[in-house]
Amino acid sequence: MKAELRLLAWELTQRCNLKCKHCRMDDQMEDKELSLEESLSLIDHLSPWANPTLILSGGEPLLREDLFEIIEHATSKNLRVVLATNGTLLNSEVAKKLKKSGVRRVSISLDFAQEEKQDEFRGEKGAFGKALEGINYLK
């Protein structure tokens, strides 16, 4: 039986706008992410031999200015793209761009059902509310 690559998670950046208790990444991390050209080349090398679901995460992937170019390139190569985000940077414009670029699913991190606990865990007051707003923008 031949093994098939079905799922690939890619940390696009170490940068993040939150300071979560469980995470090693934050806004002070050294930026060691691949350039746009390197990212597109990686997708080009991956796509001929595998057609996985590609999970783009971080840090916070929405901090990358070239995120939508990466997504569009991946979807043009028939990769199914999922975005893993903390949801706090989502707005109407970003939601429309995600849809237009071909994102199939968005995963938003919610660790608690209580606002105070979520905000404390994520290291930012209002993180819970912003994540819920982000979900509403994606509807």
Q: pLDDT (tens digit, 9 = 90+) per residue, 55-105?
A: 999 999 999 999 999 999 999 999 999 999 999 999 999 999 999 999 989
Residue 30 has pLDDT above 80, yes or no: no
CATH number (domain holding residue 39): 3.20.20.70
Q: Which domain holds residue 78?
A: 7-19+34-138
Q: What's the pTM value of the predicted model, to 2 decimals?
A: 0.89
Residue 34 has pLDDT above 60, yes or no: yes
Share of the chain above pLDDT 90, in %: 67
Give the pLDDT score at 48: 80
CB 59 within 8 A of CB 32: no
Domain count, the chain: 1
Residues 6+ apart with CB under 8 A from 32: 14
24 within some domain:
no
